[in-house]
């Protein structure tokens, strides 16, 4: 009983922290899928900006690592499109450019500006790599008035979590090791690159929002009031393909963004 109470306390504390999107494994997969699809010119520019000893995967989680020290960057990781709305609205959902859609555009502009100081371009690239991954986590493109799912307690096959952390890393962690997932996801991403890489950041956010409506919340099992929601095998079977395709799409879209921006 004491152990279960302690686990719930830890889960509650986790929910009080800033919401993250994907864990390091998810962000690394997005970055590796993108890096594999860079043009020679874009690859050279990335090395020039980051330095010879860095890869996109090695800096993919930097934006989360500095988040506590840079609280202003917190809202840049998501866009709160209301779950009951069909489309995003920048005036409603992104005041003062404080959302992931706006920041992706600003970071693109910064990394393309060779006149900017090198450290500013490097930081913009590190944010961009992370934010395109963030945008594709369904709970970072939707708002159900539950702090991105952090207020929804769940039981993930005996482990107390919240809904947000379940989608960040809980379900992905059950799919296997990164090294095993990477070639499988890359193959699918490469197959669909031309189709999936199209569109704007808002287009991507709206499609991710629809996935949250349909799967994340639409298929979430119902529980008794005041008790954690039990994540079932059926829910996992619907969530896993969505997580895979969202990571694949994020990799394709990051690759296209860098290929077009760093010619």
Instruction: Tell me whether residue 179 is exposed, middle or buried, using C-beta atoms within 10 angstroms of its C-beta: 0 to 12, 13 to 18, 19 or more.
Output: exposed
Task: Provide the percentage of residues in the chain whose pLDDT is more than 70.
Answer: 92
Quote the pLDDT of residue 22: 86
Strands 229-231 and 159-162: unpaired
Give Dmax over CA atoms of the chain in angstroms: 60
| Residue 82, beta-bridge partner list | 143
Dist CA 75 CA 71 (whole Å): 8
pLDDT given at position 225: 83
DSSP state of 228: P
Q: Mean pLDDT across the stretch 90-117?
A: 97
pTM of the entire predicted model? 0.92
Structure tokens at 79: 């866009």
Across all residues in the chain, what is the average pLDDT?
A: 92
pLDDT attached to residue 13: 38
Task: Give the model's pLDDT for residue 178.
Answer: 97
Full residue range of the structural domain in which residue 202 is found: 2-261
pLDDT band at 20 (very low <50, low <70, confident <90, very high): low
pLDDT in tens, 68-78: 999 999 999 99
The CATH number assigned to the domain holding 138 equals 1.10.575.10
Q: Which of 137, 154, 209, 212 is nearest to 15 (CA)?
A: 154
Give the chain's domain count: 1
């Amino acid at each position: 009983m004491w152990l279960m109470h302690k686990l719930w306390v830890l889960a509650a504390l986790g929910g009080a922290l800033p919401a993250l999107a994907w864990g390091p494994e998810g962000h690394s997969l997005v970055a590796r899928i993108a890096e594999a699809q860079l043009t020679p010119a874009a690859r050279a520019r990335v090395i020039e900006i980051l330095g010879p000893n860095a890869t996109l995967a090695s800096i993919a989680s930097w934006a989360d690592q500095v988040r506590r020290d840079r609280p202003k960057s917190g809202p840049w990781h998501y866009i709160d499109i209301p779950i009951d709305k069909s489309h995003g609205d920048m005036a409603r959902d992104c005041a003062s450019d404080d959302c992931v859609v706006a920041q992706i555009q600003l970071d693109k502009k910064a990394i393309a500006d060779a006149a900017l100081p090198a450290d500013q371009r490097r930081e913009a690239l590190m944010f961009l790599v992370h934010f395109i991954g963030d945008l594709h986590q369904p709970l970072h493109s939707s708002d159900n008035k539950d702090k991105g799912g952090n207020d929804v307690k769940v039981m993930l096959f005996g482990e107390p979590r919240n809904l947000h952390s379940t989608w960040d890393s809980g379900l992905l962690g059950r799919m296997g090791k990164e090294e095993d997932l990477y070639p499988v996801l890359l193959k699918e991403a490469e197959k669909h690159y031309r189709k999936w890489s199209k569109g704007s950041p808002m287009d991507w956010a709206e499609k991710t929002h629809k996935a949250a409506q349909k799967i994340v919340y639409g298929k979430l099992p119902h529980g008794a009031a005041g008790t954690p929601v039990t994540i079932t095998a059926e829910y996992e079977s619907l969530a896993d393909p969505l997580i895979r395709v969202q990571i694949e799409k994020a990799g394709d879209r990051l690759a296209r963004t860098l290929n077009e921006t760093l010619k």
